[in-house]
Structures are given as structure tokens and as C-alpha cells.
Structure 1
Amino acid sequence: MPPAAVAGDGYVPSARRLEREAFKRRRTRRATAVAALSTLVTAAVLYLVVVNSPGWERTRETFFDPAYARKALPEVLEGLWLNLRLLAVCGACVLVLGMLLAVARTLRGPAFFPLRALATAYTDFFRGLPLIINLLIVVFGVPALRLQGVTTDPVVLGGVALTLTYSAYVAEVFRAGIESVHPSQRAAARSLGLSHRKTLRYVVLPQAVRRVVPPLLNDLVSLQKDTGLVSIAGAVDAVYAAQIIASRDFNYTPYIVAGLIFVALTIPMTRFTDWVTARMDRRRAQGGTV
């Protein structure tokens, strides 16, 4: 196969390469067409199965009533503002507390054993405790203590419960990232005269955080959905706003509206997580910095 000709500064691909690229484009178009056709067929079959079921009319009136959807949308969106604020505040607190717990668990030396033990106990306890039970304990148990200067606001207490639970999960993510950094990185940093604290700050943590970005984003997606659980304390978020409307008219369309709004928020975050994961995988495959 003779090398491709070069005219001036422009590269002229060979006929074989042009043929190969044309084949790839045809294969991509064919695969896209097949995927689109199969998706349409599947959607049509599911639609026919649902609408022809015996209880479809009653289900449509109870769960998919456009009039109730229009009625519920403004109040659900107003409650959603609380969920977004909880996500922003709790997400920041979770990242900070999770990082501190992870660092505490990776400290070396017998002098730090009590700190490691406390961090380990905290992580094991809140990872094992169901979130709903944690919310009930914090939201209803803390006000029962009647402590001076401690808030009884259900929104604040619900945010505290979310932070306590999710920081335990995020701490394990950070710890996995820290321990994935090769020991030679620490040894090289210490040989250059860096202290243990500076080694952790300037060498280990930057690499660890980059490696755990995808699972961290997944935890934030889960946190975004679980902010709706603060409704059990009486906080009027999107879920509780839907519940109020549904209890007035015994129509559950507001729940569908609230669910679709959460899905609409979650999908962009999920796709962004997938993009970050794919980008990091490509950089790792090419030998770039991870």
C-alpha cells in the first residue's frame, strides 16, 4: 500500500481510508435507524398494552388528569425551591464532612487511633442506618430533648439528617480515592521534603478527588431525590405540596407531576455524570492525567 500523497501542506487520505470511513458512517446510520425503529415498536407495544388494560380509564382519571396537573404544577414548583436549596446546602456540607472523615480514616500512626476509630464508627453506623429512620430520629427526637438554643425547624433538622447519612457514603468514596493513589507518590513527595500534611494536600488529595468525581456525582444525584423525604417532618417541599393537593381531591396526578419534575432534574445530572466518566476513561486509556 503506497503512502498517501501530500499536496502542499494538505493531507490527502488514501482511497482505502476513505472507503473505511464511508463504511463506518453507513454502519452508524444503519445502527441508528435500527435503534430508532426498535424503540418506536417497543413504545407502541407498551402503549397498546397499557391503554387496552381493563382499568386504564380509571387509572388515567386518577393519575394522569391534565386538569389536576395544571392545578398542581405551580404549588409543586414552589415546593421544589425548598428541595433545590436543601440540595445546595446539604451537598456542600456532605462534601466537606465526607472529606474530613476520609482524611481521618487514612491518618497513620498510633496517636491517631482514637480519631480513626471514631471516623470508622461514624461511617459504619450511618451507612447501616436507614435514611428514613435517621430522619425520624433527628426530626422528632432532637425537639423532644428541649435543648436551649437548638432549632426545631423541620427543614434544618431534615437537612442535618441528610448530611449525616450522605457524608458517611461520600467519606467512603473519598477514602477509596485516597487509597487508590500509589504509595510511590507519597514517597516521592516526602523525599522532596514535603511534610505529611503538605503531601496529603498537594499530592494525594488532588489525584484522589479527580478519580472519584463520577461516584461523587452519583451520590449527589441520589441526594437530590432524597431531599423529598423531608416532607415526613411537615416541610412543604415538592412532594408534600403534591400530597396536600392529592388529599384534597383524592386524585394522585400531583404525585406524577412531582415525580416527573424530579426525573427532569435528575436526567441532566446523570448524563453529566456519564460524560465525566467517559471523558476520564478516555484520558486514562490515552495515558493522560486522571
Structure 2
Amino acid sequence: MTTTLGRSRSGDPLPTAPLSTSPPPSENELGRRAFRQRQTGRAVLISVVSTLVFAALVWLFVVNTPGWAAVRKSFFDPAVAIKAWPRVFEGLLLNIQVLIFAALGVLIFSLILATLRTLRGPVFFPLRALAAGYTDLFRGVPLLIVLYLVGFGLPGLDIFPRMPVAFWGTVALILTYSAYVSEVWRAGIEAVHPSQVLAARSLGLSHGQTLRRVVLPQALRKVTPALMNDFVAMQKDVGLISVLGAVDAVRAAQIETAASFNFTPYVLAGLLFVLLALPMIRLTDWITARMRRREQIGSLV
């Protein structure tokens, strides 16, 4: 295939040049592709069969243990699960609500902390020291203790209006997870090569513009898998707000267990949390694999 490059001043067409097209794959390459496809199909088949065999062996071992009948009655009673479903599911909606607000608060507050820790110059030393002390403190204190201090300590000061316990649970989650996520942000910011910052500053961008337009977009791509893993962890820890008295999925399961003398509601709440986390877990794995493939383009033979 050819194309005309243009016309001369006299109106005559200039010589044409062939368009560059990729050559078709050779017979050897087609053979290698077919071999890889067969190997992939064989690997998938073996994986499925081995997984089914392993699951069957585990199931046979569990159901043949002496105490399986009592465990099944105490933890896997369908009638109790159906009865507890409305209250546990209603509690899960509260967990989801707390999770959404906590995730937004952590995203904003952790980014502010990471920005403070990356400031340069002696004049910003108090801010850097304050941010570093904050991250050290809340990464060292267990979340359960933070929940007690925030949920029962802050309302006891009588300087805040009366708020529901779910609000204080959200505050405790933000305070704790912001310390972890800020370190993830800081690692991503410091992973950006200094030449990027120097180039942006040489073009006349201020420190804030450089951070917003050059550094943060690159840092976000680097730390996306880590941020998503922290979000998955917070999906589980959001159930700890039950210690403050909030009737979430865990507290609702506790109430149903006390009413029926059966632990099936706890299993039901656990399965609901797993179903809540699975989409984000699979999305995290997909994004991680996608980024790895992009970084390894051209490295495989």
C-alpha cells in the first residue's frame, strides 16, 4: 500500500512512499502461540481437577470427625441463619455506611499527612515533626484501644454535641488508618524520580502545582495496589465499631446468638463481610497483574 506525500508547486503529485506494515507472523511464531495455548488449557484443567480433589478430601475429613454433628448444629444451622438474616443484613448496611465515610476521610487526611512529611526546609520542621509523631503514635496503638478512647473519651469531655456511636467509630477508623495510608502515599511520592520535580520547577510550576500535576499522578499509579489492600483491611476492621454499642452486623449477630444459643449468626456475618470484600480483592489482584504486565512489556522471550 502506498500514500501520496503531497503535491509540488506545479501541482504534480510528489512520489509516493509505501506505508509501514508489520509483517505476518512466521510459521515458528504460530507454532509457539499454539503451543502456549495448549499449555495454558492444560494448566487450567489440572488446576480445576486438583482443586476439586483437594476440596473433596477436606470435606470428607471434616464430615467424618467425631464432633462434626455438634459443630454443624451449632455453627451451620440454616433455620437460624434465615431467622437472623434481616437483622444481620441491616447491621451490615451500617458497616457499609461507616466504611464509605471512613474511606473518604482516610483518603483526604492521609494525603495531607503525607504532604506535610514531604515538605522541605527548616521552617516546616514543626509540621514534619507533628506529622511524623502522629503516624508513629497511631501506627503503634491498636485500633481497639483507639475505638475505646475516641468512643468513650471524647464524648466524656462534654465539648462535643451528642453524636451516634457510629460517628465516633468512623472518627477512630480515620485516625488509625490515616497513619498507615499516609506512609503509603509518602512512599509513592518519594518513589517519583527527582528529575520530574526539577523539570516541573524549571518550567515555572510552583511547589503545589508540581505536587498536584506531576508528582501525585505518578505516585498514585505506584501505590494503587497498596491503597486498595488497606481498603480491604478496613472493610474487616469496620466491624469493630460494635464494641462501642453500634448495632452493626457483628453486634446483630451477637444479639441473635444470645437469643438462639447458636453461633450460626456469627458465621452469617462473617460470610457477608467476605462477600463485601471479594470484589475489591479481585479488583486489587487484577490491577496489580495489569501493572506488572505493563512494567514487563518486552522482557519476556
2: CA distance, partners of 1:116 / 1:12: 58
1:188 alignment partner in structure 2? 199
Q: TM-score, normalised by structure 2?
A: 0.89
1:233 alignment partner in structure 2? 244
Which of 91, 101, 105 is matched with 2:113 structurally? 101
1:90 alignment partner in structure 2? 102
1:259 and 2:278 are equivalent in the alignment: no
1:44 and 2:21 are equivalent in the alignment: no
1:23 and 2:35 are equivalent in the alignment: yes
The aligned amino acid for 2:182 is A
- The verdict on how the C-alpha distance between 1:12 and 1:211 changes in structure 2, with shifts beyond 3 A counting, is closer
Q: What SS does structure 2 have at the residue aligned with 1:212?
A: helix
* 2:80 and 2:260 in contact (8 A); partners too: no
Q: Which runs of 4+ in 1 moved over 4 A?
A: 9-13
- The Cα shift of 1:201 comes to 1.5
Which of 257, 277, 281 is matched with 1:246 structurally? 257
- The Cα shift of 1:140 comes to 1.2
- The Cα shift of 1:15 comes to 3.2
Q: TM-score, normalised by structure 1?
A: 0.92
- The Cα shift of 1:154 comes to 0.9
Choose 106-115 or 190-199, whichever is displaced more. Answer: 190-199
Deviation track 1:156-199 (CA, whole Å, cap 9, x = no partner) reads: 11110000000000100000011001111111111111121211
Which of 206, 215, 220 is matched with 1:204 structurally? 215
2:130 alignment partner in structure 1? 118
2:287 alignment partner in structure 1? 276
1: CA distance, partners of 2:279 / 2:233: 13
1:77 alignment partner in structure 2? 89
1:144 alignment partner in structure 2? 156
* 1:98 and 1:171 in contact (8 A); partners too: yes
- The CA RMSD over aligned residues, in Å, is 1.6
The aligned amino acid for 2:64 is N
2: CA distance, partners of 1:122 / 1:32: 48
Aligned length: 278
1: CA distance, partners of 2:182 / 2:25: 51
* 1:135 and 1:161 in contact (8 A); partners too: yes
- The Cα shift of 1:11 comes to 7.0
Structure 1 unaligned spans of 5+: 1-8
2:165 alignment partner in structure 1? 154
The aligned amino acid for 2:192 is V
* 2:95 and 2:248 in contact (8 A); partners too: yes
1:32 and 2:44 are equivalent in the alignment: yes
1:165 and 2:176 are equivalent in the alignment: yes
- The Cα shift of 1:10 comes to 11
- The Cα shift of 1:36 comes to 1.2
Query: Identity percentage over the alignment?
Result: 58
1:218 and 2:252 are equivalent in the alignment: no
* 1:142 and 1:152 in contact (8 A); partners too: no
Q: What SS does structure 1 have at the residue aligned with 2:69?
A: helix
2: CA distance, partners of 1:141 / 1:10: 69
1: CA distance, partners of 2:215 / 2:245: 43
Structure 2 unaligned spans of 5+: 1-20
- The Cα shift of 1:13 comes to 4.2
Larger radius of gyration: 2
Q: What SS does structure 2 have at the residue aligned with 1:193?
A: coil
The aligned amino acid for 1:216 is L
1: CA distance, partners of 2:106 / 2:224: 14
1:6 alignment partner in structure 2? none
